[in-house]
Structure 1
Amino acid sequence: MLSKKKMILIGLIIILVAIGGYFLFNYAEGQKAFAGEHNVLILCADPSEPRPGVGAVDMAFVIQLNNGKVGEITKVYPGGLTHPTKEPSASMRAEGLSVVYLHDSLWSENLTEGTTTAQEIVEYHTGLKTDMVLVMTPEAIDALVKSVGPVYSNGKEVTNDSINFLRDDQDQGATRGDAVENLADGIRDAASKNNKKPALIQAAMDQYSKGNIKVVPEDKFGPFISYGGISNVLG
């Protein structure tokens, strides 16, 4: 049976983006900040749905960390999950929204506001409080696929249009979570088989610098990478 850790490679790969700059210098700080149990929220965003912010949240995961090691993984499907108290903004109401859904939590241009909203929704519906949020767009995923390709998911070669590939996988019966898991397995396997782990790391660094991979709060990113280490993702 495949490890559940693999299914979040699409989200977790972004912990690699600053490995070179932080791994040697921030380990002690990371050990202090992330010792014990912590939860990280991964948001897969689709910017093709028009809104001021990053995009719509298509899928989410909560990753439990135990002293920097990946523990339980919880899939969170955005459909129908609403904020218990937050009122929609004027621009949201103009689009006919009367409540704030997880799907629309990244509506605002203020990323911190959006990720906080997402955290509050997830905590309300799952009971899982998260310490940090990682946001990833299809453009970043496409770049990762390209860096290690060819990538195969569920027996099919992945094109450079990953979001439509995931939707096609769902049209054939896969759940959104399973579709992401299949693609994550494909990226991981390709990086190993093609000896392209360094290329994968470089692509993630590039996408982070371009803003296609986002982290909130940013000041926790370096210590998190240093303490969690590279083995959690590519080991």
Structure 2
Amino acid sequence: MTARAPVAAVVFDIGNVLIEWQPERFYDAQIGEARRREVFAAVDLHAMNDRVDRGEGFRDVIYGTAAAHPDYRPEIEMWHDRWIEMAAPAIPRSVRVLRALRARGVPVHALTNFGIDSFALAQRHYDFLSEFDQAFVSGHLGIIKPEPEIFARVEAGLGLPGEALLFADDRPDNIDAAAARGWRTHLFEGPDGWANRLVDEGLLTPDEAA
């Protein structure tokens, strides 16, 4: 049986892999769970965010949605005005292993559903988001995970087949879409498991992954 070729590059999702992304938790803390449930039941804020992730204007989409739902306008506008508070905090061990991989000379990339302006905002706030060899950002590409085309764009952009890539993401649908193209995948359920996977793949030593 032919041995599997080594991993040529590691691809990180960002939300809930490098930075916590829990809008419901943020809103619960700001307006209370009951009001949050009311707002989220009345307005599909995640679908609104998908429009931003596809490349529509960050402020335009959110403020437009708020104007269309005046009963919830202040809460919806918070998605824009206080966005960086929702995209928080960083996940320290994930950041450490990203930097450890780079120190080892392993190519490290991002594949993320993120808006154009919101990604630029996040880069200003989190320095490690500017440390990827390449960042494939859905807003710039005009397509989002788990659409197969976005994975094909990564392969073409890197000049690598899927089996050469190791991809971590917290969403099973994204993992399934990547695996369908032959990518090696890791369903991110916490930084410890991800660090262990990188050790198992021979990309880091246990000390480097600590």
Rg larger in structure? 2
The answer to which structure has the higher helix fraction is 2
Normalising by structure 2, report the TM-score: 0.30
Flag the structure with more relative contact order, 1 or 2, with Cα contacts below 8 A and sequence separation at least 6. 1
